[in-house]
Structure 1
Amino acid sequence: MITRLLLKNFRQYRGTHEVVFQPGLNLIQGSNDAGKSTLFHAICFALFNYTPVLGAATQPLITQGELFTEVIVEFTALATGELYRLTRRREGGRRGSTQFSLEKRVGDHWETVVSTAKGSKEIDLRRELLGILKFDKRAFLNAVYSQQKEFVRLVRGGVEVKKEIDALLGMTIASNAALCFKELSKEVDEKIAKEESLRKLLDEQVKTRNTYIDSIRRQAQEIMEVRSKLAEAGLKLASVKKVHDEILTVKRSIDGLKAAITQMEKAFLRLQQAKEGLEGFIEEYGSKESLLTLLKSEQDRFHTTEEELKRVEGEISRLRSALDGFRKSLGYVEQTLKERLDVSSKTTCPKCGQPVDPLIVRAEVEKLEKQWKDLKNELDKGLEEERKLEAKRRSLVEAKQAISERLSSLRRDVENIEKLEGEVKRYQVEFEALKAGLEDRVKEVEEVRAKASFKLMNYKPQIASPLLKAPPRDVDLLESAYKRIEEEVIREKGVWEERLNSSRRSLESKLNEQRSNIKLLKDLLGRIKETQAELAKIGRYKVAKEGFMRIQLAYRELEEALKSQLLNLLAIKTYFWYTRLVGEAKYVGLRINPESYELEVQPLGFPEPQPVKSFSGGGIETVFALAMRFALAEILGLRDFLLFDEPTDAADTKNRDAIVNVMHEASQFFNQILLITHHGVGVEVAAHVINVSYDSARKSSLIEVEA
């Protein structure tokens, strides 16, 4: 049962408008275009995001000039009595989408069941509503909600009506099942038609299988032959490799001997070079002892010069100290003399103010002048002495530097001689050691040749003999003999390696070919098995086809029986409600045409039923349409609420009053009926009256509940 409807900016309802519905018959009345039908459209929009006039288009539902529309429907579940609230909102803009939220009242608060805010889809909402209200969109539009001007559509039949009624009453179950088995029969026929081609395919596959088997057997024999050649080449190559290893051992001993000779020659050359260098240094001085004596003499001369230099530098230092004293005394005398000369021309002393005696001052000036001359003579003598000592110091410094350079040269020569003497000794020891080691290398060559002689002579004695008989110290002859036999071994080794690789390539090629044929054979055997299985299936399909034909026939019979019974039930229920809706029944029977689903009625005095649309007067077609709506709702078990949009338009006064009275009674059976009528029709029996009007000044429909 719908308990409350809230509209916000929905079509001509600008702003917020609320309607509260009651159990029983709820009468909605008002003038044309006041907005009565819009209330039902709002309910339809909230439930299914759809309206009869605009279909799935939702943007035009927003009141002109507003930014959004929102509809809230509160309803109770008939089975449980639980209260639900469904909110659907559409924001403005052509690309906007509707948002919904279904909530359940739990205690004193609402709990969300599904919501777009939580990621729910429209299908989730439809599933929840079906569980609560027990109807889907098809049942709502054909049984619950009777639209204005679409009221008589069901009784006039037609392809679309037939499809809707079949779906509502479940009559499509049998036909759908029969159709499924018909499609299965077609598929079976298609598979059976493949039998002949499958048998031809199987014959070709068996022939190909035999060809593969013969080829694999032949390849197995060829692989055995190649493997035999491969083993022979491997043994030959291994034998040649062993000979090569012996030759390499001999070569390593020869290389060792050659390296020892080279090292000894290099050591002897280094020894000779060191001796020649030593003799070159000693030749300049006669002997090492003469060099050392000369070095000692130069060292003594260096020390003597160094002592004399220190003495002269001391005298220069003392003389410069004395000269500094003369300069200070001379400066003092010059200053005093200047002061006395200044006083001599004055009568009083400028410093103390005492009278000046010219004679005394003159005597003092003469004394000071004599003292200054004596000091000046002593200073000049000292400066001359300083110049002489400085010249002598420079001479001694130059002599010391020359002696020092000479000493450095002599010391380097002594170091070089001692270094060369050490090198001569070291190279002599090295030479003697290498000379002794050379004999060991010669013995090693003899031992290695003796050890390898058996294998080499068994291999090719004509080329091995020179290597085995060459003198052990004749390295050139040994190398020449070795290279000859090595070239032969390498050549033969290459021959057998090529044969071995060729055999391997041949083996790999044949193995790959055999593997390919085996794989093809396995695949073919699998396909043969599949073909045989398909042929076996065809045999079963032939048996199944007969069963499918019997099942199709049974479902067709079931469909006809089910259709007959359900249409008969719908006709009986429709006639029952017809007798309730009219004051006096003028039609004694009715039926639903099984082909067109058109409602046919039989008036008094008529031998056969006729289409209801062929009768006029009193709005009889509308009465039967309403009766069929009640019948459908009852059969489908939809007893929660029904919506009727002006079903009494075409009925006469008598039938109209009867219709309203029956709706009042039916509201007890169907719990709640929302009825849109003209002003005054049914007010006496309505449980709740809602007046709808349009206010041009406010540009909005208005709702008023009648007390």
Structure 2
Amino acid sequence: MIEEVRLKNFLGYEYAEVRFTEGLNLITGRNSTGKTAILESILYGLYGAIPGIDQRLLFSKKKDARNLQVYIKFKSPRDSSIVEVYRTLEYRYGRAYTSSIRLFINSKEIPLESQEDLRRKITLLLGVGYRSFNWLVYIRQGKLTEIIEPKKEEMDTVFGITLLREICEQIEQAGRRLSKIDGLDVEAEYRNLIMNVIPIYEERLKEVEEDLSSLSEELKQLEKEISIMESPTIQILINKISELEKYRNMNQEIKNTRRELLSKYGLESIDSVKREESRLKKELEDLAREIPLMEMELRRRLSESTSISSKILNLKELLENQMKLLQSGKATCPTCGQPISPLIIHSLIIDEENELKRLREEESRINVEISELEKKLEEKKQEERRVRERKERLSALVETFKELDEREMKIMKIIKMLENEVEGLANSLKIDIDLRGERLMEKVGRLIASREEVELKKAKKTELEQKLKEKMKLRYEIARKLEREKNRLREVEKRVKALSLSRKFLEKLTESIEEERKAMLESISYRSLQILDSLTDQKVYRAILIDPENYSVYVHPVGLIEPIPAVYVGGGHQTLISLALRLAILEYIGFRNLIILDEPTYGVDQENLEILLNYFSKLKKYMKQVILVTHHGYGVEEADNIIKVYKDSEGVSRVEQ
């Protein structure tokens, strides 16, 4: 709450002291007496500037006015501390400059670094900044209704959105810095490192390590071969292996003979021969029972076929006679002489033809069965002969297998003895051989070499050692480069993650700004209508709406289908709507301490002037302190503190309280 303002050489004042109270402070006086100058002094005393006014124009018009002073005292709404501000402006050589600023809180002077430092402290103590104070708290003459078609940047500043957008811009700038590394696009560089550079180095390193492993193994094997070639025991080993392979071949021939015999008879093993012999015996017994039964069934079927054939012949003969009788047209039976109706004859013919058809089908079926039975009988007889012959051959096969088993046992004893000898010799030479492997002689035979071959292998050994040394050097270089690129990848990855986070944060912040703006404007719109309804009893509007895109205000009058722009309603209503909006916004941002109105009824006709002033008197419900400049003589009855302004005979502004 503003408590006191003192002016010296400020605009039209040589010196003035103005005291303010809670409630409605009414500044009244004729035109051009200095009412607005008091309001400007409040703004200047608080923030050290007045928008649109060169500081040189603030000095009194007196010729000797070279020193301007403004003192303001207010109670902080934050902690109820008493704040006093002293500002001194001097005019020298055509230039105005601040020569002194002082700040006292509860009579204790506070050190100041600069005017900007003072402005920051005032903003904290008062709870509202310079731009918001100019736009919402201090409403200049003719500017009250600007709120219904405001400048978007002003409203963004009031609601703190400008600051958030500046933060967004800073995040974008940080993102742009993060998006480049050594002049390259960081995401493209990340993909290049992941997909190209590092995989290429890793693949090269893998190839070199594989070459190293191969060279090391080859060198180790070569050293072993040279050692073996120079040993006299190798020839003894070769002879033993040759003898071992001879007996193994003999044993393999026995196995092949056995396998061929088993394959010839379709058997898996010797045990299966006995099982097969038992099976064949049972099969012969079964066939001995089945064949007589099949022969008996065949005879029965032949008898049935003969009987049916006889019936067919008789039926054909009877059918021919009846057809002749039907064709002759005779009405008596030639056999018994009884009269017969042609219809009866025709019916008999049909029945006999059906019976004939049935007998022929049955005859055909039986003949097919006879044919199949004869075929099966012949097959069974052939099978019986085949089984009998196979059983006889199996008996001879058992004897052959006995002979093969005896030979195999003798050979296996010799093979076992030779394997033990070969294994002992190989161990003495430190040769790793597989006794069960194929081409054993071929592998060991390669170890016998001439002196020239030994020298060639030694030369190759020297060559391999040099290659191994070069490969190890190459591996070191590739590993070093790979590690360097991996370190770069870690740095790039950090940047990519930071860039992704900044983008997500920026996107979330942008969404939050718009969501908060929408929710905030809905709340302010709703509260504005409540305040408007409390200021007037007309209740002509269903809603007040604020466009979130440009902050333009719309009202929805009762009786209309759609809202209309607030600029289209009457001047008095525009004033009240604007006032309600400003109060709602101040309430939303938590500032309910002060509102300054300079001629808010500017442009209102005489008839509505007193009505509006009556509405303004209700502002005390929403603001602890109201400072109102009105036309001379209006609103005095509602005021808690009246400040009269006039000019003396010399044209100097004076204050009377």
The 1-side partners of 2:191 and 2:52 are apart by: 62
Question: Residues 293-352 of structure 1, C-alpha deviation per residue, up to 9 Å, x if partnerless?
Answer: xxxxxxxxxxxxxxxxxxxxxxxxxxxxxxxxxxxxxxxxxxxxxxxxxxxxxxxxxxxx
Q: Say if 1:550 and 1:128 are closer, same or farther in 2 by CA, change over 3 A.
A: closer
The 2-side partners of 1:663 and 1:654 are apart by: 16
- The aligned counterpart of 1:451 is none
The 1-side partners of 2:636 and 2:525 are apart by: 31
The 1-side partners of 2:138 and 2:531 are apart by: 17
Q: Say if 1:8 and 1:527 are closer, same or farther in 2 by CA, change over 3 A.
A: farther
| 1:136 maps to which of 108, 129, 145 | 129
SS in 1 for 2:9: strand
Amino acid of the structure 1 residue aligned with 2:641 = H
Give matches, 1:329-478, under 5 Å. Answer: none
The 2-side partners of 1:636 and 1:70 are apart by: 32
Stretch of structure 1 that moved more, 547-556 or 576-585: 547-556
Question: Residues 2-31 of structure 1, C-alpha deviation per residue, up to 9 Å, x if partnerless?
Answer: 111111111111x21111112110111111
| 2:528 maps to which of 566, 574, 579 | 574
Q: Say if 1:586 and 1:196 are closer, same or farther in 2 by CA, change over 3 A.
A: closer
Question: Residues 347-404 of structure 1, C-alpha deviation per residue, up to 9 Å, x if partnerless?
Answer: xxxxxxxxxxxxxxxxxxxxxxxxxxxxxxxxxxxxxxxxxxxxxxxxxxxxxxxxxx
Give matches, 1:523-538, under 5 Å. Answer: 531-538=485-492
Amino acid of the structure 2 residue aligned with 1:136 = G
| 1:678 maps to which of 631, 635, 638 | 631
Contact 2:77–2:127 under 8 Å retained in 1: no
- The aligned counterpart of 1:703 is 655
1:167 aligns with 2:157: yes
- The aligned counterpart of 1:95 is 95
SS in 2 for 1:69: strand
| 2:592 maps to which of 627, 634, 639 | 639
Amino acid of the structure 2 residue aligned with 1:603 = P
The 2-side partners of 1:615 and 1:49 are apart by: 38
1:663 aligns with 2:653: no
SS in 2 for 1:44: helix
Amino acid of the structure 2 residue aligned with 1:600 = Y
Give matches, 1:227-238, under 5 Å. Answer: none
Give matches, 1:572-651, under 5 Å. Answer: 572-616=526-570, 618-651=571-604
The 2-side partners of 1:195 and 1:584 are apart by: 63
- Compute the displacement of 1:38 (Å): 0.6
- Compute the displacement of 1:676 (Å): 0.2
- The aligned counterpart of 1:72 is 71
SS in 2 for 1:619: helix
The 2-side partners of 1:196 and 1:593 are apart by: 42
- Compute the displacement of 1:592 (Å): 0.8
Contact 1:619–1:650 under 8 Å retained in 2: no
- The aligned counterpart of 1:408 is none
Count residues with an aligned counterpart. Answer: 378
The 2-side partners of 1:604 and 1:173 are apart by: 38
SS in 2 for 1:684: helix
The 1-side partners of 2:177 and 2:607 are apart by: 61
Amino acid of the structure 2 residue aligned with 1:643 = I
Question: Residues 517-546 of structure 1, C-alpha deviation per residue, up to 9 Å, x if partnerless?
Answer: xxxxxxx99998665433333345555555
| 1:124 maps to which of 112, 117, 127 | 117
Contact 1:10–1:62 under 8 Å retained in 2: no
- The aligned counterpart of 2:80 is 81
Unaligned runs of 5+ in 1: 207-523
The 2-side partners of 1:50 and 1:61 are apart by: 16
Amino acid of the structure 1 residue aligned with 2:632 = H
The 1-side partners of 2:136 and 2:523 are apart by: 16
The 2-side partners of 1:196 and 1:32 are apart by: 70
- Compute the displacement of 1:61 (Å): 5.9
Amino acid of the structure 1 residue aligned with 2:633 = G
The 1-side partners of 2:584 and 2:592 are apart by: 11
Q: Say if 1:527 and 1:28 are closer, same or farther in 2 by CA, change over 3 A.
A: farther
Contact 1:62–1:92 under 8 Å retained in 2: no
- The aligned counterpart of 1:112 is 109
- Compute the displacement of 1:83 (Å): 2.3
The 2-side partners of 1:622 and 1:589 are apart by: 16
SS in 2 for 1:152: helix
The 1-side partners of 2:124 and 2:167 are apart by: 26
Contact 2:101–2:115 under 8 Å retained in 1: no
The higher radius of gyration belongs to: 1
Amino acid of the structure 2 residue aligned with 1:700 = V
The 2-side partners of 1:83 and 1:539 are apart by: 55
- Compute the displacement of 1:54 (Å): 0.4
| 2:643 maps to which of 685, 690, 697 | 690
SS in 2 for 1:597: coil
- Compute the displacement of 1:583 (Å): 3.8
The 1-side partners of 2:71 and 2:178 are apart by: 54
- Compute the displacement of 1:78 (Å): 2.9
| 2:518 maps to which of 556, 560, 564 | 564
Stretch of structure 1 that moved more, 31-40 or 175-184: 175-184
1:149 aligns with 2:142: yes
SS in 2 for 1:163: helix
The 2-side partners of 1:67 and 1:546 are apart by: 59
- The aligned counterpart of 1:193 is 185
- Compute the displacement of 1:587 (Å): 2.1
- Compute the displacement of 1:694 (Å): 2.1
SS in 1 for 2:647: strand
Question: Residues 478-524 of structure 1, C-alpha deviation per residue, up to 9 Å, x if partnerless?
Answer: xxxxxxxxxxxxxxxxxxxxxxxxxxxxxxxxxxxxxxxxxxxxxx9
The TM-score normalised by the length of structure 1 is 0.48
Amino acid of the structure 1 residue aligned with 2:522 = N
- The aligned counterpart of 2:366 is none
Stretch of structure 1 that moved more, 525-534 or 79-88: 525-534
The 2-side partners of 1:680 and 1:547 are apart by: 63
1:21 aligns with 2:20: yes
- Compute the displacement of 1:685 (Å): 0.8
- The aligned counterpart of 2:356 is none
Give matches, 1:498-537, under 5 Å. Answer: 531-537=485-491
Percent identity over the alignment?
A: 25
Question: Residues 431-456 of structure 1, C-alpha deviation per residue, up to 9 Å, x if partnerless?
Answer: xxxxxxxxxxxxxxxxxxxxxxxxxx
Q: Say if 1:681 and 1:580 are closer, same or farther in 2 by CA, change over 3 A.
A: farther
- Compute the displacement of 1:63 (Å): 4.7
The 1-side partners of 2:98 and 2:572 are apart by: 40
Contact 2:190–2:492 under 8 Å retained in 1: no
